[in-house]
């Protein structure tokens, strides 16, 4: 729309309504910490100074009319790309069918569901119901592999139906006779958001956009991916829209409202979820976070400094190892650390204690992960492309993580130690225990983080012989943030052991 066509004062109302403060930027500024690449504000509108054109994110269309105070005549500039999807060979649960049907006819919006609710299945089913060539956007190779595996498992596809762009595209051993390498597929394309920045033409000829883990899309890279897409259908999926920076509106402005929420009660009624007991393992850890002279200026301690102090504290570490060993005796276990170096230490000590252990890592750490042939855990993160003990070549990160999860499901691995990979792409129903060795950051008075909700959700997946699930949370209740965290966890999970 043109600014000249707007009612008097409407542009100012649009500016105020669609500009959002970044709470994380404010927290860092108030604490004297560097902001890095964080922005103080985000906007879901834009004004072209030359033409006077005003644009607002498409998911905020109804809110825009309320802000302006009058109806808006919309020009549909979206595109379609009809295609015949291959037959579906699975069976959707009733709530999945409802969610997929609503998402398909609603054109845009978000599907919420706990881990284990089959959001990937729902989103693929919704895309198939639109009859559109579909682009799936993810931000890790692990998620890319999961989507590819799910499509191949559930749809009677032919070679060329699937295209892989970015991420897994660099893996020479993938089945490239079945999937198109580095180009869109005939029916489905799975691309990493990082690659789309340099190859925006991939968006062309797709009539449906699927966004996995859409709660992370309040960032410039993702915003660019969404704004470049002209796909008529736009569907996001996630376990929660919760964000520590308060920028949830960025997501709903971009994708539209929540269309359907799959509840824990629906999953339990269908026998697809078991309850998870959250147990606090209390420490005596203390750390002075008050403002003082640090690094040439007065500031409070940064979260990285707190985590480093936690990992270095002998008493706290002893409690972490005691808890990890106990969990591994009870069932297949994942130990979660916010520090990669600390995860290496935990993995080495578990292995030394006789626990069959492997590592799961995010980022570029696969070269330094435990060797899948001999189990050797490198002493440092600077390991080479081959295992220093047996000389076996190391796999790519996503290949390594997928292999470790298969070993857990087969009973060949008792414990896995991971970093951020546990938040995205960790799908192993046999896991019955988790140990949160180092906590993720969270603001005072804020609800439980999306990361912790996902970590609990990973354990809720049912499996044959799996009778219960426990998450052990190493809890620093002598710290102010620890006491705030306990209150938030009580609100979220109801009871704590």
Integer Cα distance of 99 and 424 in angstroms: 22
Q: Is 288 exposed, middle or buried (0-12, 13-18, 19+ CB in 10 A)?
A: exposed
Tell me the two tokens of residue 315: 């008493």
- Count Cα atoms within 13 angstroms, Cβ side, for 491: 11
Which has the minimum average pLDDT: 21-30, 124-133, 466-475? Answer: 21-30
**Residue pLDDT, tens place only, 40-81:** 888 888 888 888 888 888 888 888 888 887 777 777 788 999
What pLDDT, in 10s, does the model give residues 179-223? 999 999 999 999 999 898 888 889 888 999 999 888 888 877 787
Please enumerate in sequence order all residues whose Cβ is within 8 A of that of 198, keeping only pairs 6 or more positions apart, or say none: none
Q: Is the pLDDT of residue 369 over 60?
A: no
Q: What's the pLDDT tens digit per position in 127-182?
A: 999 999 999 999 888 889 989 999 999 999 999 999 999 989 988 888 899 999 99
Q: What is the pLDDT of residue 495?
A: 73
Quote the CA–CA distance of 114 and 94 in Å, as a whole number. 16
- Contacts for 312-315 with beta carbons within 8 Å, 24 or more apart? 313/285, 315/283, 315/284, 315/285
Q: What is the mean pLDDT of the segment spanning 280-290?
A: 88
**Which pLDDT score, from 0 to 100, does residue 85 have?**
97
- Compute the C-alpha angle 241/184/189, nearest 5°: 30
Instruction: Convert the pLDDT of each residue in 399-415 to its tens digit.
Output: 777 788 888 888 889 99
By three-state DSSP, how is residue 278 classified?
A: strand
The per-residue pLDDT for range 124-134, each reduced to its tens digit, is: 999 999 999 99
Candidates 321, 320, 329; CA nearest to 414 is 329
DSSP track, 364-383: T-GGGSPPTTT-PPPSSS--
Residues facing 468 on adjacent strands: none
- 372 confidence band (pLDDT: 50, 70, 90): low
- Predicted local distance difference test score (pLDDT) of residue 294: 61
SS3 10: helix
Distance between CA atoms of residues 136 and 458, nearest Å: 22
Distance between CA 272 and CA 266 in Å, rounded? 9
DSSP state of 353: T
What pLDDT is stored for residue 60 in this prediction?
84
385 pLDDT exceeds 70? no
Distance in angstroms (rounded) separating the CA atoms of residues 421 and 414:
18
What is the rounded distance in angstroms from the CA atom of residue 243 to the CA atom of residue 443? Answer: 10
- The Cα–Cα gap between 86 and 434 comes to 38
Given the DSSP bridges, would you call strands 45-47 and 54-56 parallel, antiparallel or unpaired? antiparallel
Q: Which comes out higher in pLDDT, residue 271 or 151? A: 151
Q: Which pLDDT score, from 0 to 100, does residue 345 have? A: 92
As a whole number, mean pLDDT of residues 470-478 equals 91
Task: Answer whether 409's CB lies under 8 Å from 430's CB.
Answer: yes
Of 143-152, 228-237, 393-402, which range is least confident? 393-402
pLDDT band at 367 (very low <50, low <70, confident <90, very high): very low
Percent of the chain with pLDDT over 90: 36
Which residue's entry shows tokens 């994708």? 255
Q: Identify the pLDDT of residue 371.
A: 67
Read off the pLDDT band of 368 (50, 70, 90): very low
252-261 per-position pLDDT tens digit: 989 999 999 9
Distances (CA, A) of 388 to 335, 451, 474: 24, 34, 33
Has residue 388 got a pLDDT over 90? no
Phi, psi of 360 (to 5 degrees): -120, 120
């Amino acid at each position: 729309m043109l600014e000249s066509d707007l009612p008097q004062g409407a542009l100012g109302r649009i500016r105020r309504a669609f500009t959002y403060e970044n709470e994380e930027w404010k927290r860092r500024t108030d604490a004297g910490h560097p902001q890095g690449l964080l922005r103080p504000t985000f906007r879901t509108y834009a004004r072209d100074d030359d033409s006077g054109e005003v644009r607002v994110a498409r998911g905020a269309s109804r809110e825009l009319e309320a802000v302006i105070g009058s109806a808006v005549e919309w020009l549909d500039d979206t595109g379609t790309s009809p295609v015949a999807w291959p037959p579906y060979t699975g069976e959707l649960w009733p709530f999945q069918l409802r969610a997929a049907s609503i998402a398909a006819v609603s054109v845009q919006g978000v599907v919420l569901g706990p881990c284990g609710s089959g959001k990937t299945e729902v989103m693929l089913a919704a895309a198939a119901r639109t009859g559109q060539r579909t682009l799936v956007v993810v931000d890790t190779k692990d998620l890319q592999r999961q989507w590819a595996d799910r499509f191949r498992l559930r749809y009677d596809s032919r070679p060329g139906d699937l295209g892989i762009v970015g991420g897994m595209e660099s893996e020479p051993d993938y089945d490239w006779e079945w999937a198109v390498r580095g180009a869109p597929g005939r029916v489905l394309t799975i691309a990493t958001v990082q690659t789309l920045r340099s190859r925006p033409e991939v968006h062309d000829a797709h009539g449906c956009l699927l966004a996995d883990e859409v709660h992370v899309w309040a960032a410039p890279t993702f915003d660019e991916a969404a704004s470049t897409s002209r796909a008529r259908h736009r569907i996001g999926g996630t376990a929660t829209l919760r964000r520590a920076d308060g920028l949830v509106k960025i997501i709903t402005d971009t994708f539209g409202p929540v269309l359907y929420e799959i509840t824990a009660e629906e999953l339990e009624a269908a026998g697809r979820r078991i309850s998870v007991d959250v147990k606090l393992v209390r420490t005596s850890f203390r750390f002075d976070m008050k403002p003082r002279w640090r690094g040439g200026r007065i500031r409070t301690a940064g979260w990285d400094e707190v985590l480093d102090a936690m990992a270095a504290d002998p008493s706290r570490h002893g409690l972490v190892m005691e808890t990890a060993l106990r969990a591994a005796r009870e069932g297949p276990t994942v130990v979660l650390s916010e520090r990669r170096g600390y995860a290496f230490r935990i993995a080495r000590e578990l292995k030394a204690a006789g626990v069959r252990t492997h590592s799961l890592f995010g980022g570029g750490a696969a070269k330094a992960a435990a060797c899948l042939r001999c189990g050797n855990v490198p002493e440092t993160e600077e390991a080479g492309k081959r295992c220093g003990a047996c000389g076996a070549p190391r796999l790519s990160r996503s290949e390594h993580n997928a292999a470790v999860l298969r070993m857990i499901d087969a009973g060949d691995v008792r414990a896995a130690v991971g970093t951020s990979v546990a938040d995205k792409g960790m799908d192993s129903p046999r896991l019955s225990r988790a140990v949160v060795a180092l906590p993720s950051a969270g603001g005072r008075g804020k609800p439980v983080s999306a990361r912790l909700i996902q970590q609990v959700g990973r354990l809720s997946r049912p499996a044959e012989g799996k009778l219960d699930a426990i998450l052990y949370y190493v809890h620093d209740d002598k710290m102010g943030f620890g006491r705030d965290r306990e209150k938030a966890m009580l609100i979220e999970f109801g009871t704590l052991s």
